[in-house]
Structure 1
């Protein structure tokens, strides 16, 4: 099969799952357990994506300026900085670490 056939099949599957989501009864979605599980899944997925994008290079692990930027951004979040400031602090930390010679 061609690559475009797989892309179209994937898009159709994603759209089908979205349509199935509208068919779930509202009473199921109002259950407290469903809300708690969906909130925890969202946090877990976001954390795993951040870590994957921070330390992965090809098929290995690399500790570079991105890790320092993530630490700086985490400290800014702990100090309750506004989100835009957190992004700026993370970018500045990465730039500073790269200026100091970290890859």
Structure 2
């Protein structure tokens, strides 16, 4: 196999353009098809629940694990603070900064 073709700038640019068009197409399909496709109420509830479960699992794995090890105490506490602030409907910047400050202060205190 000729590996020089895989590293050519043209292949890279074409790949980026194809991915950009595909991404835009998927994002455009939602609003365009929303009125044409209907789901039963039970399926809509299941999809809403699936989205929440997916986000919760993402938060759990990134908030509690570091590689294949447990993340320690500081990061989960920071994630918990972020969750509390988000639940209290704090602005997004406050949520992110609050989690970062709590995590940094705990690590500064020697709690990792």
TM class by smaller structure: 0.5 to 0.7
- Which residue of 79, 103, 106 corresponds with 1:94? 103
- Which residue of 94, 108, 111 corresponds with 1:85? 94
Q: Map 1:2-13 onto structure 2 (within 5 A).
A: none
- With normalisation by structure 1, the TM-score equals 0.66
- Describe the SS at the equivalent of 1:80: coil
Larger Rg: 2
Structure 1: any 5+ residue segments left out of the alignment? 5-14
- Describe the SS at the equivalent of 1:102: coil
Matched residue, 1:46: 55
- Which residue of 43, 56, 76 corresponds with 1:34? 43
- With normalisation by structure 2, the TM-score equals 0.61
Following superposition, the deviation at residue 95 of structure 1 comes to: 1.1
Matched residue, 2:82: 73
Aligned residue pairs: how many? 86
Q: Which runs of 4+ in 1 moved over 4 A?
A: none
